[in-house]
Structure 1
Amino acid sequence: MFTNDTLQGRVALITGGGTGIGLEIATAYARLGASVMLVGRNEERVQAAAKSISDEGGKAAAMKCDVRNYDEVKQAVEATVERFGALDIMINNAAGNFVCPTAELSPNGWKTVIDIDLNGTFYCCHAAYPHLKASRHGGSVISIITMLGVSGWPAAAHAASAKGGILSLSRTLAVEWGGDNIRVNTISPGPIGDTEGTKRMYIDGGKGDLEAKKTALGIFGRKVDIANAAVYLASDLASYVTGDNLIVDGGRWLKYVAE
């Protein structure tokens, strides 16, 4: 539905880009003309992902990066600019989570998820800022969160707190960096059926149908639904959109309220 040059000439850095939603976004961006740098903790995985995009004719590169380490994040940003000449889009997709009642959650478990999700997002935004400010297209930051970070997420207090923090951080930066022609937005996916996370948390345990029924549409979403939202927010189609949280969850959060 987008034209082939929707993101022509833009450069994107995508954390957690080796699999799932991150790879889907990277693939969509490359098909629409962007150059993409995929980063993640598993170098073999992100290199394979970049190769799959290159094999399709896209412009892609990859490198190992742990978003919990600011020095590694800064190196990834600088490597992106060195390889492709700019950085226009920062996608904060890397995330960690596990199910655990809060009373049983260890301080280290809490810290690990906060470090990946919230601190990692801050590190990426901070390191990317001067290059996003210099972007000839206008900079764009997009962070993947969830409405469960707004409503609360029983048995995932660490992830809920991190995602809620990312939303607040993003809206703060939207105001602080608006004058620098940088737009900062978030996307809140619902249950995405073709991701490993949804498969592991719901489908494998026989709870797939129940989770799908919790949405207003009664179905799981697809990775491409999130990629389409990320294309829109990064493109000139959303040139007057900042500080927004684009909810792509099949109406799950509304049904929760209604029930």
Structure 2
Amino acid sequence: MLQQGTFDGRVAVVTGGGSGIGEAISRELARLGAKIALVGRTRDKLDAVCADINAAGGTAKAYQVDIRDRSRVEAVIDSVIVDFGRIDHLVNNAVGNFRVAPEEMSPNAWNAVVDIVPDGTWHCTQTVGKHMIERGGGSILNIGSTMSKQGGPATVHSASAKAGVRAMNKSLGTARGRYGIRVNVLIPGMTEGTTGAEVLHQTEEAFDQAVSGVPLGRLATRKEIAQAASYLLIALIETAHGVPDARTMASTPGVRRLVFGGHIGFCEQRVAEVKDQPRRPTTSRKSSHRSANSPAGGCRRGKSQRS
């Protein structure tokens, strides 16, 4: 757990901050000293969370907006910058989800999720990203879903949308690194007290089956996810190679995965390569083998004998 004051002087924008994981992240960042801009569609929920944070001595303000509307997103981000003077962190948590069989899915049902998840995430990320580039850095965290890796018979729209966010995350990591902007995705497992857990596992049998796949034998808590999110957002991750009680897995170059409690959740970090970074000269295995068995000058044995 990070210490209080870790985020002092920092400003974080959290979409979908009025409930579930977004609310937990907002409360945790506020506890750590960040000023919070809560973004969402339901004003009452946003105001309630803001009231609690402010009553506890923190600083939070609500901004009602539908992130599917690009012009409204730009206006809200401008307002946040005017109100707080800066944006250091962006958490893309807003989501839409429901169960529907692929053959019964209407175009509107597909768009209802896609317009929020990849499109809304992009609207917020690009808009805030421009500000971060001007400021010289920042961090962006996308909240993903295990469906982006494993899919589901009644969640084709959600799985496709979240897979798009994962691909966006990796691409932006390589593009934004040169500006001092870190882009990460945190993919929680099934988490208690969230709409996703209720919507996707509506029967007791489905719920028990989901829990049986978790080595710890329980769901993740919103507080656990919020703590992991805070760790990824702060600059400490730049020198970190893992977290306590986490299993580090090898992956493709430039990507780290941290697995919390088995299926509790994992994150991917894409580290952009710095163009001007000096590289150590390398020698291929083939050339190394040849030079080790050849006389000085690198000539093959047969050719040197003929000369």
Shared fold (TM-score, shorter chain, > 0.5):
yes
What is aligned with 1:64?
Answer: 64
Distance 1:220 1:166 in 2: 24
SS in 2 for 1:185: strand
* 1:206 pairs with 2:196: no
What is aligned with 2:215?
Answer: 216
Contact in 1 for aligned 2:26/2:38 (Cα 8 Å): yes
Gaps (5+ residues) in structure 2? 241-253, 267-307
What is aligned with 1:38?
Answer: 38
Relative to structure 1, the CA distance from residue 170 to residue 135 in structure 2 (aligned partners, 3 Å threshold; closer, same or farther) is: same
What is aligned with 1:153?
Answer: 152
Distance 2:46 2:265 in 1: 32
Between 1 and 2, higher relative CO (CA 8 Å, sep ≥ 6) is seen in 1
Contact in 2 for aligned 1:189/1:249 (Cα 8 Å): no
SS in 1 for 2:159: helix
* 1:115 pairs with 2:127: no
Distance 1:72 1:58 in 2: 26
Please tell me whether Structure 1 or Structure 2 has the larger radius of gyration of its CA atoms: 2
1:191-235 alpha-carbon deviations (Å, 9 max, x no partner): 111223313432x52133222112122211100111011100111
Q: TM-score scaled by structure 1? A: 0.91
What is aligned with 1:105?
Answer: 105
Contact in 1 for aligned 2:87/2:131 (Cα 8 Å): yes
Relative to structure 1, the CA distance from residue 247 to residue 99 in structure 2 (aligned partners, 3 Å threshold; closer, same or farther) is: farther
Contact in 1 for aligned 2:68/2:115 (Cα 8 Å): yes
Task: Give the superposition deviation at 1:239.
Answer: 2.2
Structure 1 moving runs of 4+ over 4 Å? 240-249
Could you tell me the percent identity over the aligned residues? Answer: 35
Distance 2:265 2:57 in 1: 38
Distance 1:82 1:253 in 2: 35
- The residue type equivalent to 2:226 in the other structure is A
Distance 1:154 1:248 in 2: 26
Gaps (5+ residues) in structure 1? 255-259
Task: Give the superposition deviation at 1:253.
Answer: 8.4
Counterpart mapping for 1:164-203 below 5 A: 164-202=163-201
What's the Cα RMSD here? 2.0
SS in 1 for 2:204: coil
1:86-137 alpha-carbon deviations (Å, 9 max, x no partner): 001010000001101111111111011000001000001111012222446x
Distance 1:188 1:13 in 2: 19
